[in-house]
Structure 1
Amino acid sequence: MSKMFFLPTPHAATAINNYCWNDNWVHKFESPWSLFEKFKYANMAKDRDVLEIFGTKEVKNNKVLRRTKNNSNLYSLSGFDNSRLATVFGHDFKEANKENIKNVVNTLIAVCDEDTDWLYQMQKTR
C-alpha cells in the first residue's frame, strides 16, 4: 500500500513536504541502511535530508548537519527520532533493528564451537 506523509521540515516549520513511501518495500530482517537508501531513492533525498527529517533535536541543532558516528549510528540509531521513523516506516524501527541484530548474533553463537570460537569468547566477556 502506497502512502504519502506530510511532515514539517526543520527549514520552515510552516512548510509541508510530501514524502513517498510504500509499506511493501520493508522486508523481514532488513537493515536500517537499506531502508534509508530506499527512502532516499524514492524521494530524491540526500544523507543530510534523512538527518533533517528523522534526526533527534540534538542532531538537528548541530550547526553543520552531516553524518558522524554519533548522529548516524545505524547500530543503536541513537541520532534518530523513533516517532518519526515509526510514522514513515510503519513500525518500531529501533526495536526491530535490535531484534534483528540479536537474532543474527544468537544464530552465530549457536553454530560456533564454544571452546575455540572468537565470537563465543567475545560474548562471554560482555
Structure 2
Amino acid sequence: AVTWLFSKGMMVPTHKQLPPARINSMLNTFFGILATQPPEVADTFIKDRTTWTMFTRLALIAAKKNPALLIWIWQMAGTQDLLRWLRSYLDFSSDALKKSLLRGWLPNWVQNSQGWLEKRSPSLWLKLLSLTYQLR
C-alpha cells in the first residue's frame, strides 16, 4: 500500500526518541492537509483506497508545505524501507498508467472478441479477460 509510508512516518520506532516538535509538525502537516480537502478525499486516503492522482497530489502538497518531512520519514523508516516504498509507488504508478491507457477500450474489445478469440487462442483470451478485471 502506498499510504504505508505515511503510516510508517507516524510511528516512532521502539527505543527511539524524537523531538515532540517534530512529531507535532508531521501530524499538523498531514492532518492539516486532509482537513482542507473534501471529506471524501480524507476518508478515501485514510481507508487506503486512494487513486494515484489523489495520492501524488497530497504528497506534493505535503512536500511543499513541509519539505523536511521526507528527511524525517527517511530517518525514522530507514533507507531499506524507503526504497521498498519507492518500489511500491513505482508499481502503483505503472498500474495507474496501464489503467488509464487500457480501461476505455480493452474491456469492450475483449467482450466483443470472445467468440473468435476464445476459439483461436483460449490462453490469450483468458489473459486478456483477467487483465480487464484488473482494470476495474
Tell me which of the two structures has the higher relative contact order, counting C-alpha pairs closer than 8 angstroms and 6 or more residues apart. 2
**Where is the helix percentage greater, Structure 1 or Structure 2?**
2
For the criterion TM > 0.5, the same-fold answer is no
**Where is the strand percentage greater, Structure 1 or Structure 2?**
1
Using the size of structure 1 for normalisation, the TM-score is 0.34
